């Protein structure tokens, strides 16, 4: 890895613990105005102080995040489908590497769809993006998207994560599952977890704690943060698990203490 690549990776994974709290707000790229992300700036701005990086599209970045922000950007560069498309795996690269450089992205990201109809296309998208990222020292985060018909188990997620790493992804995002340590062991680059659909705050904290215990290098979490009625408290509690080694109970206590602090974002 050259200096620029290492430096960008260190902006995402904090060098003191090699972990990260990435805030995912890219959902609109295929879901449109997702609940509680209808006005992106309103959702994003209050959370910025508590995140290590922000995952989003160039459209939301340019319109909804101040250019004076020094939060590292993980730029989603794939898309071309919508929630009502017949096949969500039919994604292409939507954003040039030059545009990623222009917005000063610390990393670029795309989804891969192992086992889906457009598996080949999505894997070639990844390989090409890695080639471009290598040219300019920009790391690539591969998102292992899971189709409705695919099991989110260690066997399938290991397959998807390992293929992503073999094609050169510098980090991988996947889902937490039983035997998650096997997914991490078989993947030679850092693995972070998505939060998935909104659950209770306590379930999301338990998921975070379990993932970190079983080798995750952090989270790339969206809905379980900003669809909560207490997004700042949630983000602080998740952060404490990731960076301060809080256990589940300690994170719940922190969350409950934070509820008493006035949330100003809504």
**Residues tagged active-site:** 173
Which one, 78 or 158, has the nearer CB to ligand 5RP?
Answer: 78
Which one, 13 or 226, has the nearer CB to ligand 5RP?
Answer: 226
Member of 43, 111, 125, 158 binding ligand 5RP (CB under 6 A) = 111
Contact set for ligand 5RP, span 217-246 (CB under 6 A)? 220-224
Contact 140, 170 (CB under 8 A): yes
Contact 79, 94 (CB under 8 A): yes
Q: Which residues pair with 23 in a beta bridge?
A: 54, 221
Task: Write out the two tokens for 207.
Answer: 């998921």
- Asked if 28 is part of the footprint of ligand 5RP (rule: CB under 6 A), the reply reads no
Contact 235, 53 (CB under 8 A): no
Which one, 1 or 26, has the nearer CB to ligand 5RP?
Answer: 26
Q: Which stretch binds ligand 5RP (CB under 6 A): 89-97, 124-132, 192-200, 254-262?
A: 192-200
Q: Which residues pair with 107 in a beta bridge?
A: 74
Q: Which residues pair with 53 in a beta bridge?
A: 22
Nearest by Cα to 228 from 197, 201, 263: 201
- Asked if 52 is part of the footprint of ligand 5RP (rule: CB under 6 A), the reply reads no
Contact set for ligand 5RP, span 172-191 (CB under 6 A)? none
Contact 211, 21 (CB under 8 A): no
**Residues contacting residue 7 through CB under 8 Å, at least 6 positions apart:** 137
- Asked if 59 is part of the footprint of ligand 5RP (rule: CB under 6 A), the reply reads no
DSSP state of 69: -
Least distance CB 77 / ligand 5RP (angstroms): 12
Could you tell me how many residues of this chain bind ligand 5RP (CB under 6 A)?
Answer: 15
Least distance CB 175 / ligand 5RP (angstroms): 8
d(CA 69, CA 48): 9
d(CA 180, CA 201): 21
Which one, 79 or 133, has the nearer CB to ligand 5RP?
Answer: 79
Least distance CB 2 / ligand 5RP (angstroms): 27
Give me the 125-164 binding string for ligand 5RP, x by CB under 6 A, dash otherwise: ------------------x-x-------------------
């Amino acid at each position: 890895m050259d200096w620029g690549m290492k430096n960008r990776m260190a902006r995402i994974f904090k060098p003191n613990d090699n972990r990260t709290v990435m805030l995912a707000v890219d959902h609109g790229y295929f879901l449109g105005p997702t609940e509680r992300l209808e006005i992106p700036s309103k959702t994003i701005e209050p959370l910025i102080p508590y995140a290590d990086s922000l995952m989003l599209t160039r459209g939301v970045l340019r319109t909804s995040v101040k250019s004076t922000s020094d939060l590292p950007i993980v730029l989603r560069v794939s898309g071309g489908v919508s929630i009502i498309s017949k096949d969500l795996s039919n994604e292409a690269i939507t954003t040039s590497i030059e545009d990623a450089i222009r917005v000063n992205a610390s990393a670029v990201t795309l989804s891969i769809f192992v086992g889906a109809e457009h598996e080949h296309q999505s894997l070639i998208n990844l390989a090409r993006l890695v080639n471009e990222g290598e040219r300019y020292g920009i790391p690539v985060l591969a998102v292992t998207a899971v189709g409705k018909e695919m099991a989110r188990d260690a066997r399938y997620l290991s397959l998807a994560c390992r293929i992503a790493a073999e094609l050169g992804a510098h980090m991988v995002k996947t889902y937490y599952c039983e035997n998650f340590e096997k997914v991490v062991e078989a993947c030679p680059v850092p693995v972070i977890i998505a939060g998935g659909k909104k659950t209770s705050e306590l379930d999301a904290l338990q998921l975070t704690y379990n993932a970190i215990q079983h080798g995750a290098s952090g989270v790339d979490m969206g809905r379980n943060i900003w669809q909560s009625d207490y997004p700042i408290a949630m983000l602080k509690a998740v952060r404490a698990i990731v960076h301060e080694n809080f256990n589940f109970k300690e994170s719940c206590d922190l969350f409950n203490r934070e509820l008493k602090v006035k949330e100003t974002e809504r």
